[in-house]
Amino acid sequence: MRDKQFWIVSGIIIAFLLVYNFIGHPFFLTNRTVMLFAILLFSGTLIYYTRLAKMGEPIFLRDIPGLKAVEEAVGRSTEMGKQVLYVPGIMDMDQVETVAGVIVLGHVAKMTARYETPLNVPVSRSIVMKAGREACRESYLMEGRPDLFQDDMVHYLTDDQFAYAAGVNGIMVREEPAACLYMGKFYAESLILAETGNSIGAIQIAGTASQSQIPFFVTACDYTLIGEEFFAASAYLSQKPELLGGIKGQDVLKAILVGTIIVATILRFLNEMGWISWDVMNFLTIQ
Amino acid sequence: MSGELIGAWIAVFLTLAIFSYLYKDNAFYKIAEHLFVGISAGYWTSMFFWTQIQPNLFGRLWPSSHYDSESLWYGIYNAMSWINSSVFPAGGIDKGHEMHLIYLIPFALGIMMLLSVFDKLSWFARWGIAYTVGMAAGLRAYGYLNSNVIAQVRNSTLNFSDPDMPVFALIGNSYFNGIVLLIGTIAGLLYFYFSKEQKGAFGKVTRVGIYFLMVSFGASFGFAVMGRISLLIGRFVDLIAYNGTQYHHATSWILVIMVILLGYSAYKNDDPKGNTAE
């Protein structure tokens, strides 16, 4: 009850929904009730913990080695006088991983601006190029080094998957970056990129939620941010309270999901044995 | 046949040029890479325009079914048609669409993206980016919540009461597989719990979770490698086919010429970076 405002608003929404249900819930698809619960639960939990973090509640997050290594990788590039290569995946801004990749790019750009390290970001989508440029421009401005920012540091290659991989490979073998960061959505080109980066001796950090590509990054990269770790990267790197609160909220949701799975298993057993009539499997099925 | 013959020789050259990267970065690889990147960029630009922008955007703004040469709207169209009749054919665009002026919004967003070529107007592009990200977030939230959360919870629940289900089976439903799925889901989920140190009993559970993840990654890795091997076999099959007499032994000739040129360049210029054959 640390956030009274939140609980008051939640109470009003719940009361409104109860009244709506009591008067016959017009225009409501009852076979999607579980989705309503899920949206309310997820939204409410995330908002609550974000607000708590903003109010100064301390949020503890365990270390993720791959994220600590990002600054080390940029530092290594600085020491060697070589560039940092950042690959934000091959998909467009309508993919959540690409969005996360561009956000992390902003943090990496801050580091490269701070250390005066060259940054090279080849992209395969025009909107990603524009978003990447905006993210880098803002980072260089925030670090007080707009003079170091150039539009060309984020440059378009091609939309074609393997042509893009060939182009990035060419950049790797010719420019020999000291650090290669792969953060975004990847498909079959992941191993081609990571193997080439490995062959030039670059420190490599990958982050993706593409399940089929994580094995290749795990094999060929020094550090890999797996799924959720990648999405948490922005909060870790920025240490902004609202983002850290979001991570805490997601953790609480995971715990709730674990509890839900166990409870649903018990309820299913009870239903199938005929001891209760309520069918949890039917409830969990979105029509 | 001559077109097919030239195509075969080009295919063999480009395949071997890409394979030559296994030796080191060289002029043949650079030629193939730059051709690939350049041609694909042009190809996709053309594809997007002729399969998306022209039929789906212009085709809904100025469909032939609503053509009225007296109206101002189609007057604008006629002016554009006078400039380029292949994009804006006379009488409106016939792609089977009705007129939807709501498509003026993506049209305007596209123009805003193009304005980024002017420094002072480049901020307009942020509207397009904001729309794309916001629309995708809203659109996918429901789908992900349904498929990645609710469906996962539903499918993770164990069925203990089916008398026909075997205790153990390698494939399909069994009590053993159900328990493995349940433990794997819970342990995997807890591995991604960030606000607690992975120590003690919790640490042991998360360790089980990472074992599950690694087993699944290993299986996925093996499956993908098998797919890649089949792609490699496909290229070799083509190279062997193109080495036939009807193609004048394209593979052998190009391979021999490449090896000679690479060997000669390595002999003339022993550059450790491999930039030898330029």
DSSP A102-166: HHHHHHHHHHHHHHT--EEEEESSHHHHHHHHHHHHHHHHHTT-GGG--GGGEEE--SSHHHHHH
Do A69 and A169 belong to one domain? yes
Query: CB contact, 8 Å: A273 with chain B?
Result: yes
> pLDDT-based confidence at A30, cuts 50/70/90?
confident
Do A47 and A112 belong to one domain? no
Nearest-10 Cα torsion for A10, A15, A20, A22? 150
Is a pLDDT exceeding 50 seen at residue A21? yes
Give the model's pLDDT for residue A224.
95
Percent of chain B with pLDDT over 90: 67
Give the model's pLDDT for residue A252.
96
Do A108 and A221 belong to one domain? yes
Do A71 and A181 belong to one domain? yes
Under DSSP, the state recorded for B63 is: B
Strand partners, B63: B93
Instruction: State the nearest Cα–Cα gap between A236 and chain B, in angstroms.
Output: 11
Is a pLDDT exceeding 50 seen at residue A214? yes
Q: Indicate the pTM of the whole model.
A: 0.88
- Which among A160, A268, A281 has the least Cβ separation from residue B40? A160
Do A142 and A223 belong to one domain? yes
Cβ distance of B33 and A166 shorter than 8 Å: yes
Strand partners, A205: A181, A223
Is a pLDDT exceeding 60 seen at residue A199? yes
Cα gap A213→A191, rounded to integer Å: 8
Give the model's pLDDT for residue B278.
41
Cβ distance of A38 and B145 shorter than 8 Å: yes
Cα gap B216→B191, rounded to integer Å: 14
Give the residue on B whose Cα is nearest the Cα of A229.
B192
Query: CB contact, 8 Å: A276 with chain B?
Result: no
Cβ distance of B192 and A219 shorter than 8 Å: no
Q: Which residues of A touch B33 (CB under 8 A)?
A: 166-167, 169-170
Strand partners, A156: A123
Cα gap A102→A97, rounded to integer Å: 9
Q: For A156-165, how does the pLDDT look when each residue is reduced to its tens digit (9 = 90+)?
A: 999 999 999 9
B272 or A57, higher pLDDT: A57
Cα gap B111→B125, rounded to integer Å: 9
| CATH code: domain of residue A196 | 3.40.50
Do A229 and A248 belong to one domain? no
Cα gap B49→A223, rounded to integer Å: 40
Query: CB contact, 8 Å: A231 with chain B?
Result: no
Cα gap B117→B123, rounded to integer Å: 10
Do A72 and A199 belong to one domain? yes
**What's the whole-number mean pLDDT along residues B17-23?**
92
Is a pLDDT exceeding 70 seen at residue A83? yes
Number of domains in chain A: 2
Residue type, B25: D
Cβ pairs bridging A and B (under 8 Å):
183
- Which among B137, B195, B214 has the least Cβ separation from residue A251? B195
Do A100 and A233 belong to one domain? yes
Do A88 and A136 belong to one domain? yes
Among residues B142, B180, B137, the alpha carbon closest in space to that of B158 is found at B180
Among residues A165, A167, A178, A174, the alpha carbon closest in space to that of B275 is found at A174
Cβ distance of B195 and A92 shorter than 8 Å: no
Sorted by sequence, the CB contacts under 8 Å of residue A75 that are 6+ apart come out as A115
**What's the whole-number mean pLDDT along residues A8-26?**
93
Query: CB contact, 8 Å: A14 with chain B?
Result: no
Starting at the earlier edge strand, list the strands of the sheet with A179-185. Answer: A154-156, A119-123, A84-89, A179-185, A203-208, A223-226
Structure tokens at B268: 């003339």
Instruction: State the nearest Cα–Cα gap between A239 and chain B, in angstroms.
Output: 14
3-state secondary structure of B257: helix
Query: CB contact, 8 Å: A29 with chain B?
Result: no
- Which among A164, A167, A251 has the least Cβ separation from residue B194? A251
Arithmetic mean of pLDDT over chain B: 90
Give the residue on B whose Cα is nearest the Cα of A95.
B136
Cα gap B229→A135, rounded to integer Å: 39
DSSP string, B209-221: HHHHHHHHHHHHH
**CA torsion sign, A139 to B109 to A167 to A216?**
positive
Do A178 and A142 belong to one domain? yes
- Which among A38, A64, A127 has the least Cβ separation from residue B132? A127
Q: For A101-157, how does the pLDDT look when each residue is reduced to its tens digit (9 = 90+)?
A: 999 999 999 999 999 999 999 999 999 999 999 999 999 999 999 999 999 999 999
Do A234 and A253 belong to one domain? no
Among residues B123, B135, B132, B117, the alpha carbon closest in space to that of A92 is found at B132
Q: For A219-233, how does the pLDDT look when each residue is reduced to its tens digit (9 = 90+)?
A: 999 999 999 999 999
Q: Which residues of B touch A35 (CB under 8 A)?
A: 142, 145-146, 150
Q: For B27-59, how does the pLDDT look when each residue is reduced to its tens digit (9 = 90+)?
A: 999 999 999 999 999 999 999 999 999 999 999
Do A152 and A15 belong to one domain? no
Give the domain extent around A49: 4-58+241-283
